A and B are shown apart, each in its own frame.
Chain A
């Protein structure tokens, strides 16, 4: 078989020549084992700040079998595991292409959903403290937290194949929500049989939990509109309240990542793969292991969609207990740690590709049939979370993104400082007080966790989205500012 004929794959590439191709695009030509170029989207400042490991990891990705086009790094890219975080790569199964557990990551289908409302910033100002406390009470967050649901084996299987649709049948949210979630809230091809007992056990108490680290539920207001037509179509009204939820597939997804990373590392020699970095562990899409991983990963994606759907319901309940009549309509739900099978134009010919987006957001252009009808004219909403206390953005996919990055854009600000550095520089209590003085209420069970997530430990999200727009990956629609942030 073709994928077994891999001569001397993947030797290390240390020093690269970056060729500037326009305002915000840099190319590294293939050398050594690289099969395609590596392309970085950044301005000079973001590129200078980018860890050298991003370039090295991107060149390693460019060496994987069956890669098509180029290996791409988004403007928020940073050192990841095998793949850089902010990395995009597409593989053709018919050309010996691979699927990589490291290329999806541990938090499978981690993503963002945003709810829009007709509530105004002034409506919330009067009840902000009470709303923050109620959300903190209702949303399980942080180490050791548990959800209200306990799923038996049969229902767990139903959740793993049904995703957000399953959650709606259980009374969490409404059918109207589903239209605004990728794939209608249910990822096809999930295989619960490919999920280990450990992964099942890890999820037993974690349905409807937020997690910790950079995961959050944030109450925000629409502070600025960049594209009035798109903002109107997305129901983003200046001064109105929106809610964004950032989390993933919880313990089940983490365990699926762990299980298959190990299996792919062990199986690599049998597939003729010599990995320069074991975290690049992968398997041919057309292999039993590749198929099992895809089935497990899709089940974990459904777990993430169900989890965000439950959290949405809890959030709406909390709002209504403080602001009766609140209606939070789902704008969109999009994941940024995934591998999706998509059709893309390659040299003018449509090809079915397995697109890995590790810390990168799908950004389909206007007119794409996968974008809900009511949003289609303006392109797919691209939800970009900032750091605690800073702005977030709603972008929209644009036509140029298809040729530039398989219709992908950035996913967040990206860290500029390690957790250690952050805790040396900031104290959690001081940060909470400083943000409260600016009208932003933080609710977290861990002050050390707050310090590690200090806004100053992240790159400027403004710069990242501005560069994403200049590069032609997506265009800005609206800027959101925080009022309440619930963190784990």
Chain B
């Protein structure tokens, strides 16, 4: 079972996902991204958006993945409360599920401008679990 957390960055905010696999850590990192804007548990499962990206290493792939989620949020005026990720050979095939922004119900706190390279890291902890983290510019 994966989990996510936020960590402090002076002006902005860091997101971290953890899980048994890189894919699960990426899913959780995206949930942490949503939680910067609103409570993911409030979001309805009304729309599914496929996301594909590719990068030469896992850290760049996390950068691409989170920025693809930011792009879909911004251009579709949507928020996502569920993610699925499958990573094979440097390619990510994912899905983001959620609904259109409803300001009254979601009370969105802030817009995410982008995922950054600051504190960007993907790896395994001593307990063997995967983590995926970076700072977001908000």
Q: Which residues of A contact B (CB under 8 A)?
A: 51, 53, 78-82, 85, 102, 105-107, 142-144, 146, 198, 201-202, 204-205, 211-213, 251, 254-255, 257-258, 261-262, 265-266, 277-279, 281, 414-415, 418-421, 445-449, 452, 488
Question: A265 and B116: CB pair below 8 A?
Answer: no
How many residues of B are in contact with the other chain, CB < 8 A?
37
For the complex formed, measure the closest distance between the CB of B108 and the CB atoms of chain A, giving whole angstroms. 4
Q: Mark B56-98, 1 if CB is under 8 A from A, else 0.
A: 1000100110010011001101000000000000000000000
B1 within 8 A of A: no
Question: A277 and B118: CB pair below 8 A?
Answer: yes
Count how many pairs of residues, one from A and one from B, have CB atoms less than 8 Å apart in the complex.
Answer: 126
Question: A82 and B108: CB pair below 8 A?
Answer: no
Closest to B11 in A: A415
Closest to A450 in B: B109
Interface centre among A78, A202, A419, by most B CB within 10 Å?
A: A419
B41 within 8 A of A: no
Q: Mark B108-138, 1 if CB is under 8 A from A, else 0.
A: 1111011111101000000000000001011
For the complex formed, measure the closest distance between the CB of A388 and the CB atoms of chain B, giving whole angstroms. 13
Q: Give Cα distance in the complex from A419 to B11, angstroms.
A: 7
Question: A198 and B71: CB pair below 8 A?
Answer: yes
Question: B110 and A212: CB pair below 8 A?
Answer: yes
Given the interface pairs A105-B137, A265-B60, the reply to whether A420 lies near B117 with Cβ below 8 Å is: no
Q: Give Cα distance in the complex from A473 to B111, angstroms.
A: 33
A sample of 5 inter-chain contacts (CB < 8 A) reads A81-B135, A107-B137, A254-B74, A258-B67, A258-B114
Closest to A211 in B: B111
Question: B103 and A419: CB pair below 8 A?
Answer: no
Interface centre among A51, A201, A278, A488, by most B CB within 10 Å?
A: A278
Chain B residues lying within 8 Å of A85, measured Cβ to Cβ, are 10-11
For the complex formed, measure the closest distance between the CB of A198 and the CB atoms of chain B, giving whole angstroms. 6
Q: Give Cα distance in the complex from A46 to B107, angstroms.
A: 34
Closest to A110 in B: B113
Question: B107 and A202: CB pair below 8 A?
Answer: no
Question: A446 and B117: CB pair below 8 A?
Answer: no
Q: Give Cα distance in the complex from A415 to B138, angstroms.
A: 13
Question: A452 and B120: CB pair below 8 A?
Answer: no
Q: Give Cα distance in the complex from A262 to B100, angstroms.
A: 29
Closest 4 CB pairs of A and B: A144-B101, A143-B108, A79-B10, A278-B117
B52 within 8 A of A: no
Question: B114 and A213: CB pair below 8 A?
Answer: no
Question: B10 and A445: CB pair below 8 A?
Answer: no
For the complex formed, measure the closest distance between the CB of B46 and the CB atoms of chain A, giving whole angstroms. 15
Q: Which residues of B contact A (CB under 8 A)?
A: 6, 8-13, 37, 56, 60, 63-64, 67, 70-71, 74-75, 77, 100-101, 103, 106-111, 113-118, 120, 135, 137-138
Question: A204 and B75: CB pair below 8 A?
Answer: yes
For the complex formed, measure the closest distance between the CB of B133 and the CB atoms of chain A, giving whole angstroms. 14
Chain A residues lying within 8 Å of B56, measured Cβ to Cβ, are 266
**Which of A80, A107, A419 interacts with B113 by CB under 8 Å?**
A107
Chain A residues lying within 8 Å of B118, measured Cβ to Cβ, are 81-82, 277, 279
**Which of B9, B64, B77, B110 interacts with A262 by CB under 8 Å?**
B64
Given the interface pairs A202-B71, A261-B116, the reply to whether A79 lies near B109 with Cβ below 8 Å is: no
Chain B residues lying within 8 Å of A79, measured Cβ to Cβ, are 9-11
Q: Give Cα distance in the complex from A266 to B9, angstroms.
A: 25
Known A143-B37, A251-B74; further 13 A-B contacts with Cβ < 8 A: A78-B11, A80-B10, A81-B137, A82-B117, A106-B116, A142-B103, A146-B77, A201-B75, A205-B77, A261-B116, A419-B13, A419-B138, A445-B108
Q: Give Cα distance in the complex from A222 to B80, angstroms.
A: 44
Closest to A204 in B: B75
Closest to B10 in A: A79
Chain B residues lying within 8 Å of A204, measured Cβ to Cβ, are 75
Closest to B135 in A: A81
Chain A residues lying within 8 Å of B101, measured Cβ to Cβ, are 143-144
Closest to B12 in A: A419
Interface centre among B74, B106, B135, B138, by most A CB within 10 Å?
A: B74
Q: Give Cα distance in the complex from A152 to B105, angstroms.
A: 32
Chain B residues lying within 8 Å of A213, measured Cβ to Cβ, are 110-111, 138
Question: B111 and A488: CB pair below 8 A?
Answer: yes
Question: B110 and A254: CB pair below 8 A?
Answer: no
Question: A257 and B114: CB pair below 8 A?
Answer: yes
